[in-house]
Amino acid sequence: MGVQRIDTRLLEELTEQSEDLNSDALRITGGALDDFIEASAPRSRRWWQRSGTLASVAGAAAVLSSVPAAAVTTADDIMALQTAASLENLAISVYRTAAGLPFIKDGNKTVAAFIAKTTAQHQAHVKAFNAAATQAGGKAQTGPDPKYAAVVKEALPTIKTPADVVALAITLEDVAAQTYTKNVGQVSDAQLRKLFASVAPVEAQHRATLLAVQALLAGNLPDLIAIPTDAAKLPAAAGSVGLPDAFYPTKDASPISEGAVK
Protein backbone atom coordinates (compact mmCIF):
# COMPACT_ATOMS: atom_id res chain seq x y z
CA MET A 1 0.00 0.00 0.00
CA GLY A 2 1.38 3.42 -0.95
CA VAL A 3 2.39 6.10 1.51
CA GLN A 4 -0.14 8.87 2.01
CA ARG A 5 1.31 12.36 1.79
CA ILE A 6 0.24 14.81 4.45
CA ASP A 7 0.64 18.57 4.43
CA THR A 8 3.61 19.22 6.74
CA ARG A 9 2.14 22.56 7.78
CA LEU A 10 -0.59 20.72 9.68
CA LEU A 11 1.97 18.76 11.65
CA GLU A 12 3.99 21.87 12.38
CA GLU A 13 0.88 23.49 13.83
CA LEU A 14 0.03 20.50 16.05
CA THR A 15 1.92 21.68 19.11
CA GLU A 16 0.48 25.18 18.88
CA GLN A 17 -3.04 23.83 18.47
CA SER A 18 -2.56 21.51 21.42
CA GLU A 19 -1.48 24.42 23.58
CA ASP A 20 -4.45 26.48 22.39
CA LEU A 21 -6.90 23.69 23.25
CA ASN A 22 -5.47 23.24 26.72
CA SER A 23 -5.34 26.99 27.34
CA ASP A 24 -8.97 27.35 26.30
CA ALA A 25 -9.94 24.40 28.49
CA LEU A 26 -8.10 25.81 31.49
CA ARG A 27 -9.83 29.18 31.05
CA ILE A 28 -13.20 27.44 31.01
CA THR A 29 -12.16 25.28 33.96
CA GLY A 30 -11.04 28.32 35.94
CA GLY A 31 -14.20 30.22 35.09
CA ALA A 32 -16.44 27.33 36.07
CA LEU A 33 -14.56 26.86 39.33
CA ASP A 34 -14.74 30.57 40.16
CA ASP A 35 -18.47 30.62 39.44
CA PHE A 36 -19.02 27.48 41.52
CA ILE A 37 -17.09 28.91 44.47
CA GLU A 38 -18.97 32.20 44.20
CA ALA A 39 -22.34 30.48 44.02
CA SER A 40 -21.62 28.07 46.85
CA ALA A 41 -20.22 30.69 49.25
CA PRO A 42 -22.50 31.70 52.14
CA ARG A 43 -24.87 34.45 51.07
CA SER A 44 -23.75 36.79 53.88
CA ARG A 45 -20.09 36.42 52.95
CA ARG A 46 -20.82 37.03 49.29
CA TRP A 47 -22.71 40.20 50.20
CA TRP A 48 -19.82 41.55 52.27
CA GLN A 49 -17.37 40.71 49.47
CA ARG A 50 -19.48 42.62 46.97
CA SER A 51 -20.52 45.62 49.08
CA GLY A 52 -17.37 46.51 50.95
CA THR A 53 -19.24 49.12 53.04
CA LEU A 54 -22.03 49.27 55.58
CA ALA A 55 -25.47 49.66 54.10
CA SER A 56 -28.96 50.34 55.35
CA VAL A 57 -31.28 47.42 56.00
CA ALA A 58 -33.19 48.22 52.83
CA GLY A 59 -30.00 48.45 50.81
CA ALA A 60 -28.72 45.17 52.21
CA ALA A 61 -31.95 43.43 51.29
CA ALA A 62 -31.72 44.76 47.76
CA VAL A 63 -28.15 43.52 47.36
CA LEU A 64 -28.93 40.11 48.82
CA SER A 65 -31.89 39.67 46.51
CA SER A 66 -29.62 40.17 43.51
CA VAL A 67 -27.08 37.53 44.58
CA PRO A 68 -27.45 34.23 42.68
CA ALA A 69 -28.76 31.28 44.64
CA ALA A 70 -26.06 29.13 46.19
CA ALA A 71 -24.86 26.16 44.19
CA VAL A 72 -26.71 23.02 45.20
CA THR A 73 -24.32 20.10 45.50
CA THR A 74 -24.92 16.53 46.57
CA ALA A 75 -22.84 13.77 48.10
CA ASP A 76 -22.59 12.29 44.62
CA ASP A 77 -21.13 15.56 43.29
CA ILE A 78 -18.41 15.49 45.94
CA MET A 79 -17.59 11.83 45.28
CA ALA A 80 -17.38 12.50 41.54
CA LEU A 81 -14.91 15.33 42.16
CA GLN A 82 -12.85 13.19 44.54
CA THR A 83 -12.76 10.30 42.09
CA ALA A 84 -11.64 12.68 39.34
CA ALA A 85 -8.88 13.96 41.64
CA SER A 86 -7.81 10.39 42.39
CA LEU A 87 -7.44 9.64 38.67
CA GLU A 88 -5.38 12.82 38.24
CA ASN A 89 -3.17 11.93 41.21
CA LEU A 90 -2.45 8.53 39.71
CA ALA A 91 -1.68 9.96 36.27
CA ILE A 92 0.75 12.47 37.79
CA SER A 93 2.51 9.70 39.70
CA VAL A 94 2.84 7.51 36.61
CA TYR A 95 4.13 10.32 34.41
CA ARG A 96 6.66 11.38 37.03
CA THR A 97 7.89 7.80 37.31
CA ALA A 98 8.10 7.51 33.53
CA ALA A 99 10.02 10.77 33.23
CA GLY A 100 12.79 9.31 35.40
CA LEU A 101 13.23 6.13 33.37
CA PRO A 102 16.51 6.16 31.40
CA PHE A 103 14.89 5.27 28.08
CA ILE A 104 12.47 8.17 28.50
CA LYS A 105 14.80 10.73 30.06
CA ASP A 106 17.57 10.03 27.55
CA GLY A 107 15.33 8.92 24.70
CA ASN A 108 12.97 10.63 22.27
CA LYS A 109 12.84 14.35 23.10
CA THR A 110 9.29 14.78 21.83
CA VAL A 111 8.00 12.01 24.11
CA ALA A 112 9.87 13.49 27.09
CA ALA A 113 8.45 16.95 26.36
CA PHE A 114 4.94 15.51 26.04
CA ILE A 115 5.27 13.82 29.43
CA ALA A 116 6.46 17.03 31.09
CA LYS A 117 3.67 19.13 29.59
CA THR A 118 1.01 16.54 30.32
CA THR A 119 2.13 16.22 33.93
CA ALA A 120 1.70 19.97 34.40
CA GLN A 121 -1.78 19.81 32.90
CA HIS A 122 -2.82 17.00 35.23
CA GLN A 123 -1.53 19.02 38.17
CA ALA A 124 -3.80 21.89 37.16
CA HIS A 125 -6.75 19.52 36.83
CA VAL A 126 -6.35 17.95 40.27
CA LYS A 127 -6.16 21.39 41.88
CA ALA A 128 -9.44 22.36 40.21
CA PHE A 129 -11.24 19.15 41.23
CA ASN A 130 -10.04 19.32 44.83
CA ALA A 131 -10.88 23.02 45.11
CA ALA A 132 -14.43 22.28 44.00
CA ALA A 133 -14.69 19.28 46.35
CA THR A 134 -13.60 21.25 49.41
CA GLN A 135 -15.80 24.21 48.46
CA ALA A 136 -18.75 21.81 48.33
CA GLY A 137 -18.00 20.65 51.88
CA GLY A 138 -15.97 17.54 51.10
CA LYS A 139 -12.35 16.62 51.61
CA ALA A 140 -9.56 16.95 49.07
CA GLN A 141 -8.49 13.64 47.55
CA THR A 142 -4.70 13.30 47.76
CA GLY A 143 -4.53 9.58 47.04
CA PRO A 144 -4.72 7.59 43.79
CA ASP A 145 -7.72 5.82 42.35
CA PRO A 146 -7.63 2.39 44.05
CA LYS A 147 -8.76 0.33 41.05
CA TYR A 148 -6.22 1.76 38.64
CA ALA A 149 -3.51 2.05 41.28
CA ALA A 150 -3.63 -1.75 41.38
CA VAL A 151 -3.36 -1.86 37.58
CA VAL A 152 -0.33 0.45 37.70
CA LYS A 153 1.31 -1.55 40.52
CA GLU A 154 1.03 -4.69 38.43
CA ALA A 155 2.24 -2.99 35.25
CA LEU A 156 5.24 -1.02 36.53
CA PRO A 157 7.61 -4.01 36.96
CA THR A 158 6.93 -5.05 33.36
CA ILE A 159 7.75 -1.66 31.83
CA LYS A 160 10.92 -2.03 29.77
CA THR A 161 10.38 0.21 26.73
CA PRO A 162 8.75 3.51 25.72
CA ALA A 163 5.92 1.47 24.17
CA ASP A 164 5.14 0.01 27.61
CA VAL A 165 4.93 3.49 29.11
CA VAL A 166 2.69 4.69 26.30
CA ALA A 167 0.32 1.72 26.67
CA LEU A 168 -0.12 2.35 30.40
CA ALA A 169 -0.60 6.06 29.88
CA ILE A 170 -3.28 5.40 27.24
CA THR A 171 -5.22 3.33 29.78
CA LEU A 172 -5.16 6.14 32.35
CA GLU A 173 -5.97 8.93 29.93
CA ASP A 174 -8.83 6.95 28.43
CA VAL A 175 -10.50 6.16 31.74
CA ALA A 176 -10.16 9.80 32.79
CA ALA A 177 -11.71 11.06 29.55
CA GLN A 178 -14.54 8.53 29.73
CA THR A 179 -15.19 9.27 33.40
CA TYR A 180 -15.33 13.05 33.02
CA THR A 181 -17.50 12.75 29.93
CA LYS A 182 -19.99 10.67 31.90
CA ASN A 183 -19.72 12.95 34.94
CA VAL A 184 -21.13 15.82 32.87
CA GLY A 185 -24.49 14.08 32.97
CA GLN A 186 -24.15 12.90 36.57
CA VAL A 187 -23.39 16.00 38.65
CA SER A 188 -26.20 18.29 39.75
CA ASP A 189 -24.61 21.74 39.40
CA ALA A 190 -24.20 23.55 36.07
CA GLN A 191 -20.74 24.87 36.92
CA LEU A 192 -19.55 21.39 37.86
CA ARG A 193 -20.86 20.12 34.53
CA LYS A 194 -18.83 22.83 32.83
CA LEU A 195 -15.80 21.90 34.92
CA PHE A 196 -15.92 18.24 33.83
CA ALA A 197 -16.75 19.16 30.24
CA SER A 198 -13.68 21.41 30.02
CA VAL A 199 -11.22 18.78 31.29
CA ALA A 200 -12.56 15.73 29.41
CA PRO A 201 -11.38 16.86 25.93
CA VAL A 202 -7.87 17.56 27.23
CA GLU A 203 -7.60 13.98 28.46
CA ALA A 204 -9.04 12.76 25.16
CA GLN A 205 -6.37 14.77 23.35
CA HIS A 206 -3.66 13.19 25.48
CA ARG A 207 -4.98 9.76 24.49
CA ALA A 208 -5.12 10.70 20.81
CA THR A 209 -1.48 11.82 20.88
CA LEU A 210 -0.42 8.66 22.69
CA LEU A 211 -2.29 6.45 20.21
CA ALA A 212 -0.38 8.09 17.36
CA VAL A 213 2.91 7.60 19.20
CA GLN A 214 1.99 3.99 19.92
CA ALA A 215 1.31 3.33 16.24
CA LEU A 216 4.66 4.77 15.19
CA LEU A 217 6.51 2.74 17.81
CA ALA A 218 4.68 -0.42 16.72
CA GLY A 219 5.63 0.33 13.12
CA ASN A 220 9.29 0.70 14.12
CA LEU A 221 9.20 4.37 13.16
CA PRO A 222 10.38 6.14 16.35
CA ASP A 223 12.28 8.77 14.33
CA LEU A 224 8.93 10.09 13.05
CA ILE A 225 7.85 10.97 16.59
CA ALA A 226 8.87 14.58 16.17
CA ILE A 227 7.37 18.01 15.53
CA PRO A 228 7.79 18.73 12.67
CA THR A 229 8.17 15.25 11.23
CA ASP A 230 8.87 13.77 7.81
CA ALA A 231 5.25 13.56 6.68
CA ALA A 232 6.13 11.72 3.47
CA LYS A 233 7.25 8.75 5.54
CA LEU A 234 4.15 8.56 7.74
CA PRO A 235 1.95 5.48 7.31
CA ALA A 236 -1.46 5.99 5.74
CA ALA A 237 -3.22 5.52 9.08
CA ALA A 238 -1.34 8.39 10.72
CA GLY A 239 -4.22 10.78 10.26
CA SER A 240 -6.87 8.56 11.86
CA VAL A 241 -5.25 6.25 14.40
CA GLY A 242 -5.54 8.81 17.18
CA LEU A 243 -9.28 9.29 16.71
CA PRO A 244 -10.90 5.84 16.65
CA ASP A 245 -14.25 7.00 18.03
CA ALA A 246 -16.75 9.35 16.40
CA PHE A 247 -18.29 9.94 19.84
CA TYR A 248 -16.28 9.44 22.99
CA PRO A 249 -17.41 6.27 24.79
CA THR A 250 -18.28 6.09 28.49
CA LYS A 251 -18.75 2.36 29.01
CA ASP A 252 -15.48 2.13 30.95
CA ALA A 253 -16.03 5.28 33.02
CA SER A 254 -15.20 4.90 36.69
CA PRO A 255 -18.16 4.95 39.10
CA ILE A 256 -18.39 8.21 41.02
CA SER A 257 -17.60 6.42 44.29
CA GLU A 258 -14.49 4.62 43.04
CA GLY A 259 -11.93 7.18 44.20
CA ALA A 260 -13.98 9.00 46.82
CA VAL A 261 -12.43 9.78 50.19
CA LYS A 262 -13.49 7.05 52.61
- Give Cα separations from 84 to 7, 216, 217, 257 (angstroms): 37, 30, 30, 10
Please write the tens of the pLDDT for every residue from 80-115.
999 999 999 999 999 999 999 999 999 999 999 999
Lowest mean pLDDT among 44-58, 104-118, 220-234: 44-58
pTM equals 0.77
Lowest mean pLDDT among 6-15, 75-84, 202-211: 6-15
Q: How far apart are CA 258 and CA 87, in angstroms?
A: 10
Answer for the pair 195, 27: CB distance below 8 angstroms, yes or no: no
Please write the tens of the pLDDT for every residue from 118-136.
999 999 999 999 999 999 9
Answer for the pair 75, 134: CB distance below 8 angstroms, yes or no: no
Q: What is the DSSP letter of 210?
A: H
Q: How far apart are CA 80 and CA 33, in angstroms?
A: 15
Among 3-7, 40-44, 54-58, 174-178, the range of highest mean pLDDT: 174-178
Split at pLDDT 50, 70, 90, the class of 31 is low
pLDDT at 164 over 70: yes
pLDDT at 8 over 50: no
**Which domains does the chain possess?**
8-39+74-239 (1.20.1260.10), 41-71 (no CATH)
Q: How far apart are CA 119 and CA 126, in angstroms?
A: 11
Split at pLDDT 50, 70, 90, the class of 146 is very high
- How high does pLDDT run on average in the chain? 81
- Give Cα separations from 248 to 76, 129, 198 (angstroms): 23, 21, 14
Question: What average pLDDT does this structure show over 2-11?
Answer: 43
Predicted pLDDT of residue 142: 98
Enclosing H/E stretch for 167:
helix 162-183
Sign of CA dihedral 38, 200, 133, 257: positive
Predicted pLDDT of residue 52: 40
Predicted pLDDT of residue 19: 60
Q: What is the DSSP letter of 160?
A: -
Question: What average pLDDT does this structure show over 23-44?
Answer: 59
Predicted pLDDT of residue 237: 78
Lowest mean pLDDT among 4-8, 187-191, 219-223: 4-8
